[in-house]
Structure 1
């Protein structure tokens, strides 16, 4: 993750207890790390596990999830999105826990009419509460080639990045009464599905099924993360000196500058500025991040 710095003060004790990240997922064989979960054959592993594709037609979409469950980590995946007229389609790539008070960290890519930009939709849920949407126009064609979409999740913050450029952060402000994502292990999920009731121009543009099947492609998955076993034990239980900087990473001044530049140029929606949605005042974290 570019433009990040490390600090050992506030979380030194916690870091020593959790220790270093054990897992470094293989970028070469997705079969080892990901499992197709639905789609009735519409999701496929190709090239000996180097490539995974999800497809959507009028009957169904498709999806996969990680074989492992994580509690903090740096997650990278390269995606190439649905090309051409993808209006109505949603390609979702996210971390999520289970239960009614789930935690979740979302990348969602909202399809478009040919020639219009994709919308990258992001959200953060803590204890089942989301409503923290930020949306961006991507500054490249995400259908022409693969690009890397990254989530850094540690005790200090969550940072969303695209090709190493930070676009959003969600700080741990638990000391101010704002719940943080700190105690619910999460799996990686992805799906390609029909969201034409809202995805493109608020649902005004519907999916053109004559263009189906729609296909998104994935490769080079990497997770430097703490893996949680079914017993509840963590692969990061080592008490040796930690060696993985992601656990304490935050944006440095250059990273903050780059993020603000992206937000100024490409952000098209920010819940923290939507006065119509929050007439009684913005969520508390909007004035603290």
Structure 2
């Protein structure tokens, strides 16, 4: 079966499951001024006249970024994002939470990082989490997307509560981490800010640094809009801790806190089709899987002991087909969705 056919089937399944309808229909969206502040880049951060969107630019002089105006003790962080197009090798666009500026040696972090590519090759992305400075025990997963993220806006979200973490792409949960006692301080627990940045990571981002950023294509532009931030705003160094129980109750009452059976099926399909590295199956790095890992036999069979896809798996078959004949990717076009449902 061709790559086009696989993507088409996956896309139709998402539509039939009705995944656009529930978890993100009633978000409280904010203006830039209400929730965010410039971080770096000066003129490379361009706010829209209505202050509801912002463009982050990377040129040969600097990247750019913004930060939430507050730190949050648990929260829901979400934005519609459109990535740069054309040649983007060496470019990284990050949407993440961190407290590294406050807790330098014991920081927590939740990452969504988009990794650019050479012209004609798709963006890749990865998720990761750290707790209490556990950077040597990174918990990264890496994926492809079922659409071109430079063609239109898509919503990317991170939910963080005392009990679980969920990474979302649109209304598809792509990763869920359930807190276990065995994780101890590796589970993020201290107040974090939201960040978004674009920067030059030529030394590692594309094929391990083989392909560098080419500023003939600059400026590279990432666009953000429809910001949503829900959580308990706190001062991390205040003497009397803030009671955030009401905020946690609110987060756990929202649709994005629970994954229904249809969404769980979509998550399973996404991970089977588009995940190409998982730390849970990297037995070279972790002879014993970290405690939060849920080992799924159907997933495990696809990976080598390095946590990467076995030769001859989905990705390898796709490369062989692409050498014979270039096939178009399915794009997330609303009109196409309607046509597919007829």
Q: TM-score, normalised by structure 2?
A: 0.71
Find the counterpart in structure 1 of residue 133 from structure 2. 128
Does structure 1 conserve the Cα–Cα contact (< 8 Å) formed by 2:251 and 2:257? no
Match of 1:226 among 224, 232, 242: 232
- Give 3-state SS (helix, strand or coil) of 1:260's partner: helix
Indicate the structure with greater helix content.
2
- Give 3-state SS (helix, strand or coil) of 1:58's partner: coil
For 1:144 and 1:163, locate their aligned partners in 2 and report how far apart those are by CA, in whole Å.
Answer: 15
Match of 2:65 among 63, 66, 69: 63
Find the counterpart in structure 2 of residue 198 from structure 1. 204
Structure 1 pair 172–238 and aligned structure 2 pair: CA distance change class (3 A): closer
Query: In the TM superposition, what is the alpha-carbon distance from 1:267 to its structure 2 partner?
Result: 0.5
- Structure having greater relative contact order (Cα 8 Å, sep ≥ 6): 1
Find the counterpart in structure 2 of residue 14 from structure 1. none
For 1:268 and 1:244, locate their aligned partners in 2 and report how far apart those are by CA, in whole Å.
Answer: 30
Structure 1 pair 221–233 and aligned structure 2 pair: CA distance change class (3 A): farther
For residues 204-251 of structure 1, what are the alpha-carbon distances to aligned partners after superposition, in whole Å with 9 as ceiling and x for unaligned? 111111111111000000112221147465474659x86961499343
- Give 3-state SS (helix, strand or coil) of 1:261's partner: helix
* Greater radius of gyration (CA): 2
Query: In the TM superposition, what is the alpha-carbon distance from 1:255 to its structure 2 partner?
Result: 3.0
Query: In the TM superposition, what is the alpha-carbon distance from 1:25 to its structure 2 partner?
Result: 5.4
For 1:165 and 1:180, locate their aligned partners in 2 and report how far apart those are by CA, in whole Å.
Answer: 25
Does structure 2 conserve the Cα–Cα contact (< 8 Å) formed by 1:25 and 1:33? no
Structure 1 pair 227–184 and aligned structure 2 pair: CA distance change class (3 A): same
Structure 1 pair 161–287 and aligned structure 2 pair: CA distance change class (3 A): closer
Match of 1:217 among 214, 218, 223: 223
For 1:238 and 1:159, locate their aligned partners in 2 and report how far apart those are by CA, in whole Å.
Answer: 20
Structure 2 segments unaligned to the other structure (5+ residues): 1-18, 21-26, 297-342
Structure 1 pair 102–25 and aligned structure 2 pair: CA distance change class (3 A): farther
37-46 or 140-149: bigger deviation: 37-46
1:216-255 map, 5 Å: 216-229=222-235, 231=238, 234=242, 236=244, 245-246=253-254, 249-255=257-263
For 2:225 and 2:218, locate their aligned partners in 1 and report how far apart those are by CA, in whole Å.
Answer: 22
Find the counterpart in structure 2 of residue 111 from structure 1. 116
Structure 1 segments unaligned to the other structure (5+ residues): 4-23
The RMSD of aligned alpha carbons is: 2.6
1:261 correspondence with 2:269 = yes
Query: In the TM superposition, what is the alpha-carbon distance from 1:170 to its structure 2 partner?
Result: 1.2
- Give 3-state SS (helix, strand or coil) of 2:152's partner: coil
1:262-277 map, 5 Å: 262-277=270-285
Q: TM-score, normalised by structure 1?
A: 0.83
Find the counterpart in structure 2 of residue 13 from structure 1. none
Query: In the TM superposition, what is the alpha-carbon distance from 1:101 to its structure 2 partner?
Result: 0.9
For 1:187 and 1:134, locate their aligned partners in 2 and report how far apart those are by CA, in whole Å.
Answer: 22
Does structure 2 conserve the Cα–Cα contact (< 8 Å) formed by 1:156 and 1:250? no
For 1:121 and 1:243, locate their aligned partners in 2 and report how far apart those are by CA, in whole Å.
Answer: 24
1:33-112 map, 5 Å: 33-98=35-100, 99=103, 100-112=105-117
